[in-house]
């Protein structure tokens, strides 16, 4: 055999392979060495900390929400402790049959069928995925003892101490106070809730929502040491940070005034009331009926129960009729065309208009209630007897000038009031521009006409406003033209009762009102409430506190007549406005006026008592 001169010797090829393999091994060894050196030297402290963390667990300690108090310090809402049965669904068996068996056994213990257990899990995981699911609150101690003794049979089941809202006065001020509920995934993305976690509770409505940042406390943390199975070791608590309770919120509400209004309203029917200080905007009472017991929100609810509360078109128990209701008002609106006509020189206080019981305008007849004629009436008398013809005439005189709408808007009709609660409706103030545009778009069968303004002048037609907006308008008449900001928050206190913050709500704007015009309208309202022939005399004729008030009876499409009453008290220098409305309550004096009377009797209880004693002594 002959070797080619260009081929390397066999031994040289073997040496080359050994050298390559050795170099590769050396490189791999170097990589491994440097990796181990990095883990043990450079990142050693970091991994040591992580290893220690694997042996510890953090348990969040829920903070109790602050109390909500009335203006006199009476507790309206506080918190109580409750033991809640919670389930960590990640620790359920992976086998579907075993999972169902465990959930069924658990359901039997708490009196809940398997179907409802699964529905509860699905519902809570939709709201807060990954958080422990609360299956039952207020768990009995006997059940807790049983679960602890048989923990191995129920992995993932724990009993946690939680705080639940307590309502010592049951339904009192339910709409105003609101309720709390678990935060959802979308809300967790909001800046106000960036520090919260799935399962945390926030205010959902009313004061609870509007002042959640004060009422919600800061949770505490307990760190415990666990073994390889994740179970706490004996004496394993490492450190604990106590939770910070929420701050207390004192409201402007007077619980006794609130209770008086709610009781009177419930006796009359669906409706609402507002009682407010006309100088400061502090709300003394604000209620709506039907109402709801907020305790229902402290326990899991079925979808059917939720629908009944939110979607019932008739009772609508969660609908706050005082702030969200949008209604025609009838004759209590008449103070607005009166001011508009006086301030714009359309009429003088002394000028009379002849009232034969009806009037024809634009080819349409408009009648007083029952066709009652009142003869020649000036402004004060027109308010006293509630002459519709008088105000129909004012509406006709201002039908194309916009003066009536201008004054209605100035006084707050169909405008946000600035109320410090999240529930409020804007309403609708009909104008020529609005109706003409609606007609152009095909939303109505005719453009604006003189009849629309005639109807508006008596609080009818397309007008949609709330009791709260009417209270703001009456307050402006009573205080001389200041549009106050209605509010329910007074101050924030710590748990020891020390004031941390006082809320200030300024005047939103000033509406110039001639004092003589104001006095004339107030006089007419006083005559209407307490002087012979006044529409409110059957209710307020014997009330010992002088007031200025007005009845209203509004026609509402698809419903019976709506009853209204508005009062400024005491007359002639009022401090408080009180307004009530009752759906399908008939004439103003029949339903709404008695509600206002009950509220004023509570407000002026001492004065009423003294006056009654003096009369009896005579």
Q: Are 248 and 498 in contact (CB under 8 A)?
A: no
Strands 353-355 and 180-182 come out as unpaired
CA separation for the pair 320, 309 (Å, rounded): 12
The stretches of 356-462 forming alpha helices (DSSP H) are 379-385, 388-397, 403-410, 432-440, 450-456
Judged by DSSP in three states, 113 sits in coil
CA distance 150 to 159: 13
Share of the chain above pLDDT 90, in %: 59
Query: How, if at all, do strands 56-61 and 353-355 pair?
Result: unpaired
Q: Categorize the per-residue pLDDT at 289 as very low, low, confident or very high, splitting at 50, 70 and 90.
A: very high
Distance CA 47, CA 358 (A): 92
The residue-averaged pLDDT of 609-618 equals: 63
pLDDT at 39 over 60: no
Say how far apart CA 404 and CA 414 lie, in whole Å. Answer: 13
Report pLDDT digits (tens) over 106-137. 888 888 888 888 888 877 666 556 667 878 77
Residue holding tokens 């104001």? 518
Answer yes or no: are the C-beta atoms of 183 and 128 closer than 8 Å.
yes
Question: Highest mean pLDDT: which of 95-104, 160-169, 187-196, 550-559?
Answer: 550-559
Band of residue 495 on the pLDDT scale cut at 50, 70, 90: confident
CATH 3.40.710.10 in the chain, residue ranges: 255-617
pLDDT for residue 43 is more than 60: no
The neighbour count for residue 189, using CB atoms within 10 Å, is 9
- For the chain, percent of residues with pLDDT exceeding 70: 83
Query: Regarding predicted confidence, which is higher, 303 or 184?
Result: 184
Under the banding of pLDDT at 50, 70 and 90, the label for residue 27 is confident
Look at residue 47 and tell me whether its pLDDT is greater than 90. no
* Span 441-493, pLDDT tens digits: 999 999 999 999 999 999 999 999 999 999 999 999 999 999 999 999 999 99
Superfamily of domain covering 57-251: Penicillin-binding protein 2a (Domain 2) (3.90.1310.10)
DSSP assigned state of 536: T
Average pLDDT, integer, range 202-217: 93
d(CA 509, CA 409): 12
Rounded to whole angstroms, the Cα distance separating 564 from 470 reads 11
Select from 215, 259, 203, 258 the least CA-distant residue to 67: 215
pLDDT score of 54 more than 70? no
The pairing of beta strand 248-251 with beta strand 68-69: parallel
For residue 1, the model assigns a pLDDT of 44
Q: Which CATH superfamily is domain 255-617 in?
A: DD-peptidase/beta-lactamase superfamily (3.40.710.10)
Q: Which tops the pLDDT comparison, 439 or 59?
A: 439
Query: Where in the chain are all domains bearing CATH 3.90.1310.10?
Result: 57-251
Task: Give the C-alpha separation, 547 to 553, whole Å.
Answer: 20
Structure tokens at 207: 């004061």
In this predicted structure, which of 270-279, 384-393, 579-588, 600-609 has the lowest mean pLDDT? 600-609
pLDDT at 405: 98
| Average pLDDT taken over every residue of the chain | 87
**What would the mean pLDDT of 17-23 be, rounded to a whole number?**
68
Phi-psi region of 117 (alpha: psi -120 to 50; beta: other; left: phi over 0): alpha
Q: Are strands 201-203 and 180-182 parallel, antiparallel or unpaired?
A: antiparallel
> pLDDT digit string (tens) for 312-354?
667 788 899 999 999 999 999 999 999 999 999 999 999 999 9
- Per the model's pLDDT, the better-predicted residue between 596 and 308 turns out to be 596
- DSSP string over 157-177: EEEEEEEEEE-TTTTTTHHHH
Judge whether residue 234 has pLDDT over 70. Answer: no
Q: How far is CA 122 from CA 126, 162, 196, 521, in A?
A: 6, 21, 21, 60
Confidence of residue 372 (pLDDT cuts 50, 70, 90): very high
């Amino acid at each position: 055999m002959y070797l080619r001169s260009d081929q390397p010797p066999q031994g040289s090829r073997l040496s080359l392979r050994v050298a390559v393999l050795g170099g590769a091994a050396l490189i791999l060894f170097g990589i491994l060495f440097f990796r181990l050196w990095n883990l043990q030297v450079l990142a050693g402290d970091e991994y040591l900390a992580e290893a220690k963390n694997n042996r510890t667990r953090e348990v969040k300690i829920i903070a109790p929400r602050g109390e909500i108090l009335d203006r006199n310090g009476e507790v309206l809402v506080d918190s109580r402790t409750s033991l809640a049965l919670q389930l960590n669904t990640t620790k359920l068996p992976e086998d579907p049959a075993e999972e169902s068996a465990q959930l069924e056994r658990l359901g039997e213990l708490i009196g809940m069928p398997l179907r409802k257990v699964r529905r509860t899990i699905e519902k809570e995981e939709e709201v807060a995925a990954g958080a422990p699911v609360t299956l039952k609150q207020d768990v009995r101690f006997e059940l807790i003892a049983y679960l602890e003794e048989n923990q191995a049979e129920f992995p993932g089941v724990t009993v946690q101490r939680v705080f639940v809202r307590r309502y010592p006065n049951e339904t009192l001020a339910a709409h105003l106070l609101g309720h709390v509920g678990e935060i959802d995934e979308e809300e967790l993305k909001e800046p106000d809730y960036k520090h919260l976690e799935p399962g945390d509770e926030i205010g959902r409505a009313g004061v609870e929502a509007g002042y959640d940042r004060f009422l919600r406390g800061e949770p505490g943390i307990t760190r415990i040491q666990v073994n390889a199975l994740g179970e706490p070791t004996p004496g394993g608590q490492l450190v604990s940070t106590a939770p910070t309770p929420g701050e207390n919120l004192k409201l402007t509400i007077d619980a006794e005034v609130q209770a008086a209004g709610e009781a009177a309203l419930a006796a009359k029917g669906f409706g609402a009331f507002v009682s407010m200080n006309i100088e400061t905007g502090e709300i003394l009472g604000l209620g709506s009926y039907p109402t709801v017991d907020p305790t229902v929100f402290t326990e899991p609810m079925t979808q059917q129960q939720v629908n009944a509360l939110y979607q019932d078109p008739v009772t609508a128990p969660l609908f706050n009729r005082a702030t969200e209701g949008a209604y025609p008002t009838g004759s209590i609106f008449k103070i607005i065309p009166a001011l508009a006509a006086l301030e714009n020189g359309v009429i003088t206080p002394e000028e009379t208009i002849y009232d034969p019981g009806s009037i024809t305008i634009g080819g349409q007849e408009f009648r007083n209630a029952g066709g009652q004629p009142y003869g020649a009436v000036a402004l004060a008398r027109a308010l006293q007897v509630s002459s519709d013809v008088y105000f129909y005439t004012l509406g006709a005189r201002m039908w194309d000038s916009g003066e009536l709408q201008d004054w209605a808007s100035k006084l707050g009709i169909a405008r946000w009031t600035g109320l410090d609660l999240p529930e409020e409706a804007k309403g609708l103030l009909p104008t020529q521009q609005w109706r003409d545009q609606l007609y152009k778009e095909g939303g109505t069968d005719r453009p604006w006409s003189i009849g629309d303004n005639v109807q508006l002048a008596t609080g009818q037609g397309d007008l949609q406003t709330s009791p709260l907006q009417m209270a703001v308008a009456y307050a402006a008449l009573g205080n001389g033209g200041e549009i106050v900001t209605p509010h329910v928050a007074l101050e924030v206190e710590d748990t020891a009762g020390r004031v941390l913050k006082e809320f200030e709500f300024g005047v939103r704007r000033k509406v110039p009102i001639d004092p003589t015009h104001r006095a004339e309208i107030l006089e007419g309202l006083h005559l209407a409430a307490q002087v012979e022939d006044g529409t409110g005399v059957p209710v307020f004729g014997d009330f010992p506190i002088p007031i200025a008030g007005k009845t209203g009876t509004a026609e509402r499409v698809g419903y019976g007549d709506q009853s209204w009453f508005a009062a400024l008290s005491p007359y002639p220098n009022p401090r408080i406005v009180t307004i009530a409305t009752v759906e399908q309550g008939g004439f103003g004096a029949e339903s709404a006026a008695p509600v206002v009377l009950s509220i004023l009797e509570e407000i002026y209880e001492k004065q009423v008592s003294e006056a009654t004693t003096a009369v009896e002594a005579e």
